[in-house]
């Protein structure tokens, strides 16, 4: 069985000594005795998550998908240099390290969305992404679990036209808890990411969900 996981730095395993053996996706795969394809990447947004999941379904045909949503404030944009994710207050080392000058205007876009953003719109946009990706996976009869890493659970508002359409049984911790709450009290890295004990907790929580929601 193929397990496909997707998310941001919390799913990649940033700040772990060896993400390939210590991050929650491989811990979960070992518990389930699955082949793992983990496409978690630091700094990505939810549009990237939707895009990569759809591509993975077509390419790898996984039997189980675990989607770990990131902050709904992240936005994907694209230009002649490719696609990139930014968010209000973003400080991208990738952009700052560029010496060609071709990425300077991206800083202007970051300044704009930092000053002019609508948190309620960001949250509703994410709810639409959740609903659409759940429907996509259900229509293809692919088993899945969703969860959230950080931020979204703190923004929860009862947007009834959307929240009633979310399959909460397949969304672990919906709507108020996620990785941050599950790993509370464990050691964190300097960047705020969970370390080994935290990743073990996440894997245990998701393994329990696999046994109760599948």
- What residue segments make up the domains of the chain, in order of their start? 2-73+119-213, 79-116
| Structure confidence at residue 158 (pLDDT) | 66
Task: Provide, for the chain, the percentages of residues in helix, strand and coil under a 3-state DSSP scheme, each rounded to the nearest 5.
Answer: 45, 15, 35
Structure tokens at 14: 């940033």
For the beta carbon of residue 79, count every other beta carbon within 10 angstroms: 12
Task: Name the pTM for this structure.
Answer: 0.93
Which pLDDT tens digits describe the chain residue by residue (214 residues)?
999 999 999 999 999 999 999 999 999 999 999 999 999 999 999 999 999 999 999 999 999 999 999 999 999 999 888 888 988 888 766 666 777 777 778 888 888 999 999 988 999 999 999 999 999 999 999 999 999 998 887 777 767 789 999 999 999 999 989 999 999 999 999 999 999 999 999 999 999 999 887 6
| Structure confidence at residue 96 (pLDDT) | 67
Q: Does the 2-73+119-213 domain belong in CATH 3.40.50.1110? A: yes
Q: Is residue 105 a contact partner of residue 28, using CB atoms and an 8 Å limit?
A: no
| Structure confidence at residue 152 (pLDDT) | 83
| Structure confidence at residue 10 (pLDDT) | 97
Task: Measure Cα distances from 140 to 15, 16, 179 in Å.
Answer: 35, 34, 27
Long-range contacts of 189-195 (CB under 8 A, 24+ apart): 189/14, 189/15, 189/16, 190/15, 191/9, 191/14, 191/15, 193/9, 193/10, 193/14, 193/15, 193/16, 194/10, 195/15, 195/16
| Structure confidence at residue 41 (pLDDT) | 96
């Amino acid at each position: 069985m193929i397990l496909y996981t997707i998310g941001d730095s919390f799913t990649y395993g940033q700040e772990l000594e060896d993400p390939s053996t210590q991050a929650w996706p491989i811990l979960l795969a070992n518990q389930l005795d699955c082949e793992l394809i983990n496409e978690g990447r630091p700094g990505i947004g939810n549009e990237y998550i939707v895009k990569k999941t759809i591509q993975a379904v077509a390419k790898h045909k996984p039997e189980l998908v675990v989607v770990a949503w990131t902050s709904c404030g992240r936005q994907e944009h694209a230009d002649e240099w490719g696609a990139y994710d930014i968010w209000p207050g973003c400080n991208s080392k990738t952009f700052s390290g560029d010496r060609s000058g071709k990425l300077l205007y991206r800083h202007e876009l970051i300044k704009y969305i930092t000053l002019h953003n609508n948190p309620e719109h960001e949250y509703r946009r994410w709810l639409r992404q959740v609903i659409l990706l759940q429907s996509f996976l259900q229509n293809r009869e692919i088993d899945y679990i969703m969860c959230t890493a950080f931020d979204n659970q703190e923004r929860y508002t009862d947007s009834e036209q959307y929240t009633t359409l979310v399959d909460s049984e397949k969304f672990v911790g919906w709507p108020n808890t996620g990785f941050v709450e599950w790993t509370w009290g464990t050691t964190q890295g300097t960047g705020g990411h969970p370390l080994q004990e935290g990743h073990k907790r996440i894997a245990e929580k998701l393994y329990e969900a696999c046994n109760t929601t599948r």
